[in-house]
Amino acid sequence: MRKVIILATVLIMLVPLAAFATGATETATPESTVIRFTWFTDGPDRPAIEALVTEYMVANPAVKVELSIVPFAELNQLLNTQASAGQAPDVARVTEPYRFFDYALDLRPHVSSGFGAQFLAGPMQLVTTPSGALVGFPHDLTMNGPFINVSLFKQAGIPVPTGKVSWETWFELASKVQKATGVPYAVAADRSGHRLDGIIQSFGGSYFTPDGKSLNLSSPKTVEALRYFVQLHKDGVMPLEIWAGGSGYVGANQQFVNGQLVMYVSGNWQVAQFASTIGDKFEWAAVPNGYNVQSGGMPGGKFVMAFRGKTDPKEVGKFIEFLSSKESVTKYASTAMFLPARKDLIASGIQYPVRTDVMNVFSAGLGQMPATSFSDNYHLKFGIVANVVRDRITQAISGEISFEEAMPRMQREAEELMK
Mark whether 261 and 330 lie in a shared domain: no
User: Using only C-alpha atoms, what is the Rg of the chain?
Assistant: 24
Strands 185-189 and 136-149: unpaired
Mark whether 227 and 371 lie in a shared domain: yes
pLDDT for 25 equals: 44
Domain boundary among 357, 376, 406: 357
Mark whether 81 and 163 lie in a shared domain: no
pLDDT for 9 equals: 37
Mark whether 133 and 149 lie in a shared domain: no
Range of the domain at 318: 2-142+300-357
Q: To 10 degrees, what angle do helices 220-234 and 167-181 make?
A: 0
Mark whether 226 and 241 lie in a shared domain: yes
Mark whether 276 and 386 lie in a shared domain: yes
Residues 18, 73: contact at Cβ < 8 Å?
no
**What is d(CA 276, CA 300) in angstroms, rounded to the nearest whole number?**
23
Q: What is the DSSP string of 228-255?
A: HHHHHHHTTSS-HHHHTS-SS-B--HHH
Mark whether 347 and 383 lie in a shared domain: no
pLDDT exceeds 80 at position 23 = no
pLDDT average, residue stretch 142-161: 98
Mark whether 181 and 282 lie in a shared domain: yes
Q: What is the DSSP string of 110-164?
A: GS-TTTTTTB-HHHHGGGB-TT--B-EEEEEEEEEEEEEEHHHHHHHT-PPP-SS
Domain boundary among 320, 339, 357: 357
Output 56 or 378, whichever has higher pLDDT: 56
107 Cβ contact list (under 8 Å, min separation 6): 115, 133, 134, 135, 136, 306, 313, 316, 317, 320
78 Cβ contact list (under 8 Å, min separation 6): 38, 70
Q: pTM (2 decimals)?
A: 0.86
Domain boundary among 312, 329, 357: 357
pLDDT average, residue stretch 315-320: 98
The domain total for the chain is: 2
Mark whether 372 and 343 lie in a shared domain: no
| CATH classification at residue 333 | 3.40.190.10
Mark whether 119 and 248 lie in a shared domain: no
Q: Is residue 362 part of a domain?
A: no
Q: Is residue 248 part of a domain?
A: yes
Q: Is residue 23 part of a domain?
A: yes
339 Cβ contact list (under 8 Å, min separation 6): 140, 141, 142, 143, 268, 333, 346, 359, 362, 363, 366
pLDDT for 246 equals: 72
**What is d(CA 139, CA 333) in angstroms, rounded to the nearest whole number?**
9
Question: How does the average pLDDT of the chain come out, rounded?
Answer: 92
Give the dihedral of Cα atoms 282, 284, 290, 296; nearest 10 deg. 130
Q: Is residue 86 part of a domain?
A: yes
- Confidence band of 248 (pLDDT split at 50, 70, 90): confident
Mark whether 107 and 133 lie in a shared domain: yes
What is the tens place of the pLDDT at every residue in 125-141? 999 999 999 999 999 99
Mark whether 263 and 392 lie in a shared domain: yes
Q: What percent of the chain has pLDDT over 90?
A: 88
Q: Is residue 286 part of a domain?
A: yes
Q: Is residue 98 part of a domain?
A: yes
Output 14 or 90, whichever has higher pLDDT: 90
